Amino acid sequence: MTTTIPALGLGTYGRTGEEGLAALLAALELGYRHLDTAQSYGTEENVGEAIRRSGLPRDEVFVTTKVADTNLSRADFAPSVRQSLDTLGLDRVDLLLIHWPSERDQVPFEDYMTALGQAKAAGQTRLIGVSNFPIEHLKRARALLGEDALATNQVEIHPFLQSPTLRDFARSIELPLTAYQPLAKGSVGENETLREIAAGHGVTPAAVALAFLLAEGHIVIPASGSRANLEANLRARDLKLRPEEIDAVRRLDRGERRIDPEKSPRWDD
């Protein structure tokens, strides 16, 4: 039974319909064992179906889903979790996250964070965590639920947005960050530094970006519908970058945030 978060997983945003299901099945066949979905993605059904069709034991696949910010109220939170489990066809998930904090505290912070803890107590999830939480929100969550309650904070991180302030705080409290958009929507493939490092190792620039983030201690959840890319990204698990290569990628940070809707909290970086 997996109680820790696999370091390299698969983001499932966009993997809808039969084509999306085929991509998820290919990922599981190739060796992915961490599927990341959300109430707002429309992929929970495909994630559950892919696990069933794969023939893999349930305990071998780590499943994350997220409660949408539209379901944070006391009236909506628990029913939305129940609906997610029904859609997935699972008794429980491995990790349940708050997808976004409530914009301007329209829903009281204590309400939805308490509900998150209650979902774990009820056995609906093994672990709980958050997504898109700045340091201020992390401090509030830890004060409310306990210092060791959260398993991760899922945020946008890639070579061009390394979020050093948040990263260093998370390290100080031993909270793993999960990097979504770790390939910056594919733009890592156009970067000359990453291309040069990749050529030296016989891998793709994407694999270099992922290996860098893994070396920084992050969990990564790249998304792809291509079998070739899925396979290439997996090579990051065994890719050991040299110290000078890691330093070169660190220098690519330019604070380039790609996911920044109006409901976003005030970012630290």
CA distance linking residue 221 with residue 258, whole number of Å: 16
Active site residues: 41
Predicted confidence at residue 80, as pLDDT, reads 98
**How much is the pLDDT for 3?**
54
Q: Write out the chain's pLDDT in tens, 269 residues.
A: 345 899 999 999 999 999 999 999 999 999 999 999 999 999 999 999 999 999 999 999 999 999 999 999 999 999 999 999 999 999 999 999 999 999 999 999 999 999 999 999 999 999 999 999 999 999 999 999 999 999 999 999 999 999 999 999 999 999 999 999 999 999 999 999 999 999 999 999 999 999 999 999 999 999 999 999 999 999 999 999 999 999 999 999 999 999 999 999 999 99
Residue 71 backbone phi and psi in degrees, to 5 = -120, 25
What are the structural domain ranges in the chain?
10-184
201 in a known ligand binding site = no
CB 110: neighbour CB atoms within 10 A? 11
Cross-strand pairs, 132:
none
CA atoms within 13 A on the CB side of 98: 29
Contacts of 78 (CB under 8 A, 6+ apart): 115, 118, 119
- 171 neighbors 162 (Cβ within 8 angstroms): no
On the CB side of 130, CA atoms within 13 Å amount to 29
What pLDDT sits at residue 2?
43
Condensed to tens digits (0 to 9), the pLDDT of residues 1-38 reads: 345 899 999 999 999 999 999 999 999 999 999 999 99
Beta-bridged to residue 8, according to DSSP, are 220
Q: What is the reported pLDDT for 1? A: 36
* Spatial distance between the Cα atoms of 43 and 13, rounded to a whole number of angstroms: 7
Class level of CATH domain 10-184:
alpha beta
**According to DSSP H, which parts of 122-250 are helical?**
135-145, 164-172, 192-201, 205-215, 227-234, 243-250
| pTM (2 d.p.) | 0.97
